[in-house]
Structure 1
Amino acid sequence: MSRQPAYQSLRRTHRRFGVRATAAAVGGFLLYVLLSSFLPGLMNTSLSGHLTIGLALGLGQFVLMAVIAWRYLVHMRTRVTPVVRGLRGLVRHQEATERERAAFEARTTPRAEEFRPW
């Protein structure tokens, strides 16, 4: 099964999405940490009342994770699931063909002498 072009394409697509999603999550978090460390004045700038840029960016981390989770679900539904269904059908067809061939061979091969009671 691993030699099937559809399977290889599925692995490439899934891996590519995983790398992009991980890069976005780590990049967003790293940006937040670096801004907090090197630009504390900017992060303490008030936007409205007690809401600062740092707090807004911190809350934005939750939004970023939600967007990544949503895109993962969309990716799985549109790109992965159809290919998996096709591969599953292919595997079922191959298994059925193998069972039919084994049953045919069992019917057509001569049997050895069997023990029979008197």
Structure 2
Amino acid sequence: MSHDPAYRSLRRAHRRFGSRSTALAVGGFLLYVLLSSFAPGLMNSSLSGHLTLGLALGLGQFVMMAVIVWRYLVHMRTRVTPVTRGLRGLARHHDEVAARGRAAAQPPVAPGAGEFRPW
């Protein structure tokens, strides 16, 4: 199964999406931490009333995570799930063919053979 081109494309797409979304999440958080550490004047600048840039960027982390999770769900539904269903059907077909081959290769068993009679 691992040599199937559909399986390889599935793994590649999943890995690519995972690395991009992880880089985006870690990069956004790292940017927030670095700005908080090295630019406190910028982070304390007021945007509106008591809302500062630092607070807005901190709340933006939640928004960014929600967008990443939403994109992950869309990605799984549109790109991964159809390929997975196809591969699952292919695996079931291979299992059925292999089971038929094993059943044909085994010698027939006489009825009642291998059964134990009660005392």
Identify whether the pair has TM-score above 0.5, normalized to the shorter chain: yes
Query: Which bracket does the TM-score occupy, shorter chain normalised?
Result: 0.7 to 0.9
Tell me the C-alpha RMSD between the 2 structures. Answer: 1.5
- Displacement, 1:104? 2.0
Match for residue 15 of structure 1? 15
Q: How far apart in 2 are the matches of 1:39 and 1:101?
A: 70
Segments of structure 2 that go 5 or more residues without pairing to the other structure are: 114-119
Provide TM-score, normalisation by structure 2.
0.87
Cα distance, 1:37 vs. partner?
1.2
Aligned residues: 110
2:54 aligned residue: 54
Gaps of at least 5 residues in structure 1 are none
The offset of 1:98, in angstroms, is 1.0
- In the TM superposition, structure 1's runs of 4+ consecutive aligned residues that sit over 6 Å from their partners are none
Q: Deviations over 1:69-113 (max 9, x none)?
A: 00110110011100100000000101111111222223xx588xx
Matched AA of 1:39? A
1:1-118 aligned at under 5 Å gives the runs 1-106=1-106
